[in-house]
Structure formats: C-alpha cells, structure tokens
C-alpha cells in the first residue's frame, strides 16, 4: 500500500514537472513586456524576480531530471531575463550619467522676478542669465552658459489689460524664420494652472545644421503676456520631458 502511494505521488509530480519550466519562460517574456510598456525600472524589478526563479528551475531540472523537466526552456527563460536585466541596467545607468552631465540631479530652484511680479521653477544647478531687447527681458536657464542646443527660457510683457492671445500667436508665426521643411508638430489651446487663456506650439526645422525641437506656451492674463519656451535636440527633448514639463507648468504671478 505504501509503495502504491509513493508511485502515485511520483507520477503526479512527473506530469506537473514542465509547469515550472514553462513559467520560468513566461516570467522572462513578462520582463520583455515590462520593458516595452513599463519602462526600464519595471523591467529591472521584473528581471530581479524572473532570474532567481529561472535559476531555481534550472537547478531542479539538473538535480531531479526524472521529476522536473524542460531544462532547455528554463535556460532560455534565464537568458531572456538576463538580457532584460542587462538592458534595464544599461538604460538606467546611461540615464543617470546623462542627467549628471546636464546637471539635472540637484534640487529644483525657484526664481522670482519681483519687478515683474512672477516666479518660476527650474533645475537648481543650471546657470541663469538674461537678455533685454526693447521693453522685454528674456531669462534663460541652461546647464551651463556655453551648453549648446538645450535651454529653457521665459519672457514676460507686462500690460494693463489682457492681451489678445490669438494675435500674439499669429504674430509669432509671422515673425518665425521658416524654411520649406519647418514642421509644426502640435498647436492649440491647453489647460494651464491659474490661467484661462493658454496656447501651445511645438515645432522643429529639419533643414537647420542642428535640428532643434521648440515647445512654447503662451499665457495671457491681466498681468500681461508670458511666453515660456523649451528648446533642445529632439532626443534630448524626450529625456528632458519631465523637467521641461515642470518648468513650463510652474509659472505663477506673485501677489
């Protein structure tokens, strides 16, 4: 009777032995899916689960071949999970080095212009300088004054009444130096905190020696017209997106 019970238990585990190998491979595929749709951090966390599990299955299939089967599938899962781990570590390391190179690792700073009565947030380690033209002063924020092809800026024209936002955008396009290949990637009214009238324009010109993507937000209010701008090489723009968004949406009138 004991022999029959042991045999029955053994056959039950033998039939289920492929289950662990299949799940080791499925876990590796989930790592790939997390990389595609969840990003590098999600892929890294998933691989830290999939790798030990696949290794455990490989050990079991090596020590107990008559019970745990599907070792090649488990090994394939381990390789896929390891590749996902390596890719995630590489992406995160590159991102960290990139942010360090462009001085994005520090705290956010607040710049207040008390004469024009507004404030804005920008990367705290960046250099700040201004340029006055006619009655308008434009403030620039860059990783360093000599850093090419990446900058945040803001200009504010104080007025006694609410400016015509449509006219301001129209005049901007009329004055914009354009080539036949200038591409307007996005434009239209947007929601902006504390402002009822806001308009966004995103454009780039592929014919320029250095292709730059420009994202501008025009704000119209009782205090005047404000133009916020982010300019960067398109690939840098994508990496800067969260920092650019923080800057562009942080404008606040004082008082």
- Domain edge (last residue) among 80, 101, 122: 101
Average pLDDT over residues 217-241: 86
Please tell me whether residues 113 and 225 are part of one structural domain.
yes
What's residue 235's pLDDT?
A: 85
Q: Which residue has the tokens 């004082």?
A: 254
Kindly tell me if the per-residue pLDDT of 11 is higher than 50.
Answer: no
Residue 201: pLDDT band (50, 70, 90) is very high
Please tell me whether residues 249 and 124 are part of one structural domain.
yes
Please tell me whether residues 153 and 91 are part of one structural domain.
no
Q: What's the CA angle centered on 140, arms 139 and 145, to 5 degrees?
A: 135
Of the candidate ranges 14-23, 129-138, 240-249, the one whose mean pLDDT is the lowest: 14-23
Kindly tell me if the per-residue pLDDT of 7 is higher than 50.
Answer: no
What's residue 10's pLDDT?
A: 44
Please tell me whether residues 74 and 180 are part of one structural domain.
no
- Domain edge (last residue) among 58, 79, 101: 101
Please tell me whether residues 21 and 91 are part of one structural domain.
yes
- For residue 123, count other CB atoms closer than 10 A to its CB: 23
φ, ψ at 65 (rounded to 5°): -65, -25
Which range of residues forms the domain containing residue 8? 2-101
Would you call 196 helix, strand, or coil by DSSP?
coil
What's residue 31's pLDDT?
A: 92
Please tell me whether residues 83 and 134 are part of one structural domain.
no
- Looking at every residue in the chain, the average pLDDT score rounds to 84
Please tell me whether residues 84 and 160 are part of one structural domain.
no
For residues 233 and 113, the answer to whether their CB atoms sit within 8 Å is no
From CA 72, how far away is CA 22, in angstroms rounded?
A: 10
Kindly tell me if the per-residue pLDDT of 22 is higher than 50.
Answer: yes
Per-residue pLDDT tens digits for 139-179: 999 888 677 678 899 998 876 566 788 888 888 888 777 66
Average pLDDT over residues 190-199: 87
- Domain edge (last residue) among 82, 101, 120: 101
Please tell me whether residues 9 and 31 are part of one structural domain.
yes
Which residues partner with 40 through β-bridges?
none
For residues 151 and 140, the answer to whether their CB atoms sit within 8 Å is yes
From CA 164, how far away is CA 146, in angstroms rounded?
A: 36
Please tell me whether residues 39 and 79 are part of one structural domain.
yes
Domain count, the chain: 2
**How many Cα atoms occupy the beta-carbon half-sphere of 145 within 13 Å?**
4
Please tell me whether residues 96 and 154 are part of one structural domain.
no
**For the domain that residue 147 is a member of, what is the CATH number?**
3.40.1000.10
Please tell me whether residues 54 and 121 are part of one structural domain.
no
Please tell me whether residues 113 and 97 are part of one structural domain.
no
What's residue 215's pLDDT?
A: 92
Would you call 86 helix, strand, or coil by DSSP?
helix
């Amino acid at each position: 009777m004991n022999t029959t019970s042991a045999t029955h238990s053994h056959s039950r585990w033998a039939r289920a032995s492929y289950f662990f190998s299949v799940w080791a491979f499925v876990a590796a595929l989930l790592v790939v899916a997390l990389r595609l749709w969840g990003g590098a951090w999600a892929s890294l966390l998933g691989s830290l689960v999939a790798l030990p599990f696949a290794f455990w299955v490989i050990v079991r299939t090596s020590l107990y071949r008559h019970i745990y089967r599907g070792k090649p599938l488990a090994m394939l899962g381990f390789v896929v999970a390891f590749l996902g781990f390596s890719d995630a570590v590489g992406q995160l390391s590159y991102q960290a080095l990139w942010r360090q190179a462009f001085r994005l690792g520090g705290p956010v700073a607040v710049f207040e212009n008390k004469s024009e009565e507004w404030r804005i947030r920008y990367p705290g380690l960046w250099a700040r300088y201004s340029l006055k033209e006619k009655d308008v002063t434009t403030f620039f924020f860059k990783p360093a004054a000599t850093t090419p092809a990446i900058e945040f800026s803001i200009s504010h024209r104080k007025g006694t009444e609410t400016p015509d936002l449509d006219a301001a955008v129209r005049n901007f396009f009329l004055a914009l130096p354009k080539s036949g290949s200038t591409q307007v990637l996005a434009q239209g009214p947007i929601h902006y905190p504390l402002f009822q009238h806001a308009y966004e324009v995103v454009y780039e010109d592929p014919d320029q020696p250095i292709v730059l993507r420009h994202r501008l937000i025009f704000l119209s209010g009782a205090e005047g017209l404000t133009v916020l701008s982010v300019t960067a090489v398109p690939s840098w723009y994508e990496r800067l997106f969260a920092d650019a968004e923080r800057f562009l949406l942080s404008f606040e009138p004082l008082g």
